[in-house]
Structure 1
């Protein structure tokens, strides 16, 4: 009992001293009066409950300054993306038993190779899955029959199916259990990462395994993927020996090309596919597609122009595509391009953006002399910058035609941060935009989308977005009422 008391006293002392050192060893001012321990927790609660308003107040009062804000488990300072993601998901404990995944993030280069430079090669598979997934999702619709579908559930299904067609190919992309696994993975990892962050770092080797679910996630992924991973690995080995490179269009082949020979194991491949399928590929695209469906319902005046482009491009009849479009053809749809970019501007930027973690041992010094210590996670106000009238005229108004002809949905700037900016901008953004274009074009061409706000909302308005810490999600309360119209007319989707 005495030993336990000493351990608890020691733990408490270390925690308090670490906190005081973090507060008093920096000259960066704290926003919101959070310099003292008790005030810290009140301000942290404000950050958790209303991050968009907290960041907006920072942006309004100190737009060009660096300030500290409290967050559970660490101080986040308003200023390596991979390290920031590692910190968010605590991947050492939730995804893999080592830091090799983020110390050597070859999956990012593999994603860029498979999904960035070879989009035309994967276009036939991607479009085929768009058609197949959409028809399956709406298969219960018929003449004058209606059913209710959660908008987020619909988006998750369509995104997971189309992602997995390119990532792992047929038949696994259509396996209902694997689809369900990949749909739930991002939220599970985020929640478990948040729980792990609450554990003091020196106790994580002992306690993290009780909340991380690492072995369950890795075991489930391996159970699904082992056959196809082993098949690809054998084909890759044979192609290396024969000197004939493989021409598969999926992510696995690119990972095998990038991994050293001694790391081409089922476990290593599985964990990197899981990671690729989490934040960049599924999480962001889910939110983007849900927001796009809401925007189509909110602003139906833009649908005719988009539908005309889709009809000209997809050349479909009764759901059967004559041919898959090329990327160049998709890029020739200015109405769809601008609609997606504007939707991303207003819906795709979270309270905080450009998250980076200082990995240099001596920290980072800004040009004005402000020093950011090693290990700090820094970001910039995201929503506040894209709704600033100094950056956009009438910034809070949805207006796709504000975009200039050269502004693409995948392009980034200091005032358009959906995909980040600079050298560490999302490498999969070109694939994501192509995926969204195909899904949206097919849906607009074959379905009549109408707003039904009011049935579930007393104000008769679109369901409000929700925030979890600094992240932003479209409301999960929105539903799609789907049904068949009269013969020869588009099937209907009413978003409520």
Structure 2
């Protein structure tokens, strides 16, 4: 009887075939079923528009009726036969910022799913009014970012940290403002020194930043801002000296390991204090994010408490640092390219600080600065091409009859709305005091603020799931910019202008390589 020899190659091929049959193929079939479900949805009007793409300046979308690969079929809202979702998905990721058809819904193909994009006041209001059981931000985040695997599953399964951000964190802004202010001063001294420096934690950047010993220094803006914002935010979250170890550039798994090393002793000490005093209230209890999270984590939430608290601190960092950093960077770019604007803002900021000092209440008096920040974000589109992402947990019907099947991701075409002349006069032009001028009108003094409710302004989303940390973000931004205005002069080298933003599909960041020159103002 002959013996059949099995080579390592044949073993590998056999295992590969088994893997395909048991894991990959079922996943592909489920994916196709999901795509077919949304492909055949009758959620769009019979007048479903062509998919719009932009002119070369990416400002005003236009229709391309002759190109069937770039349009949705008018008659049924389906893709033209013969096209694949893959190629249109690639096109979407190249041109995402141009999508906009006012007051209508249309669907965009991604590599693995469809996304329905809406615009117009009526449909946006429907999304804002929807309950968490109908349209869920948390589930949209879990799906689009696969956050169970990239950011940890526990915070998404029981997001009690959102209630912490909404209530105790926001309420303590005034009480903890001195810490925010102190860390801004220290972080700026380290990252943007007035003249020369004897140390820097990135030796590679030393010759680029400092070069010759001169009055002006050149700073890589986005990189530097991320370090400043990380330190400032974490001074408020976990206090000094842990804020010095904050980093926004680590892979999440490495960040979990590093954060656990620093936070575990603090968490264990506070649990020991609770046991010693038999209460969650004890003398000299720190007023910070760890305490607020522990207060919220009662009952079964105390299981695996170290990991749960660490993951939630990192989740809040993830939400706080990225958007604040890109908005702050965009504001600095606008100031560097508009010296006359710097002077106008100083004339508002300096007298207020001289009279009231540095406090949360002081920040609320800076109406022109608030308007400038909001206008910069509106024009730069720091949330990307779309915002207010939600997942339909059950079939959802808009007031105009559009039906979104359960499992569909829905979003708002926010970038294009911000560039719409029907919403904003001369929408493509920077008008830094657009919103403060609106507030100056009778009966409008409390409206049009950056952190306030605005049906046309999507930075913080809207409705029940509006960003709970927006008040912290806006006050932190004001404190950062006010400090720059009173401390530094800034400009682009050789009189440069606002550097082009960098788009990756539907996401946008300020230019990552742009430099800004700083010098300390004369006392």
Asked if these proteins are the same fold (TM beyond 0.5), I'd say yes
TM-score (norm 2): 0.76
**Is 2:96 aligned against 1:81?**
no
Distance 1:111 1:464 in 2: 33
**Is 2:331 aligned against 1:292?**
yes
| 1:357 corresponding residue in structure 2 | 391
Structure 1 counterpart SS, 2:279: helix
TM-score (norm 1): 0.80
Question: What aligned pairs does 1:58-97 form with structure 2 within 5 A after superposition?
Answer: 59=100, 62-79=101-118, 80-96=136-152
| 2:229 corresponding residue in structure 1 | 159
Distance 1:135 1:325 in 2: 18
| 1:144 corresponding residue in structure 2 | 214
Structure 1 counterpart SS, 2:174: helix
* Structure 1 residue corresponding to 2:243, chosen from 166, 169, 173: 173
**Is 2:447 aligned against 1:417?**
no
* Structure 2 residue corresponding to 1:248, chosen from 278, 286, 290: 286
Distance 1:357 1:412 in 2: 22
Q: Residue deviations 1:303-328, cap 9 Å, x none? A: 12321333224449xxxxxx962222
**Is 2:311 aligned against 1:275?**
no
**Is 2:516 aligned against 1:480?**
yes
Distance 1:310 1:235 in 2: 43
* Structure 1 residue corresponding to 2:179, chosen from 118, 125, 132: 125
Unmatched runs of 5 consecutive residues or more in structure 1: 190-213, 317-322, 455-459, 490-496
Q: Residue deviations 1:78-119, cap 9 Å, x none? A: 1411122222321211222x4x31232111111122331221
| Deviation, structure 1 residue 369 | 2.8
Higher mean Cα deviation, 4-13 or 433-442? 4-13
| Deviation, structure 1 residue 125 | 0.7
Query: How many residues get paired?
Result: 433
| Deviation, structure 1 residue 157 | 1.2
Distance 1:242 1:108 in 2: 20
| 1:493 corresponding residue in structure 2 | none
Distance 1:37 1:247 in 2: 65
| Deviation, structure 1 residue 167 | 0.8
Unmatched runs of 5 consecutive residues or more in structure 2: 1-12, 52-69, 73-78, 119-135, 197-212, 440-445
| 1:193 corresponding residue in structure 2 | none
Q: Residue deviations 1:393-440, cap 9 Å, x none? A: 111111122212232121132211111112211111101111011110
Rg larger in structure: 2
| 1:391 corresponding residue in structure 2 | 423
| Deviation, structure 1 residue 140 | 6.2
Structure 1 counterpart SS, 2:140: helix
Q: CA RMSD in A?
A: 2.7
* Structure 1 residue corresponding to 2:42, chosen from 17, 21, 27: 27
Structure 2 counterpart SS, 1:277: helix
Higher mean Cα deviation, 396-405 or 33-42? 33-42
| 2:260 corresponding residue in structure 1 | 222
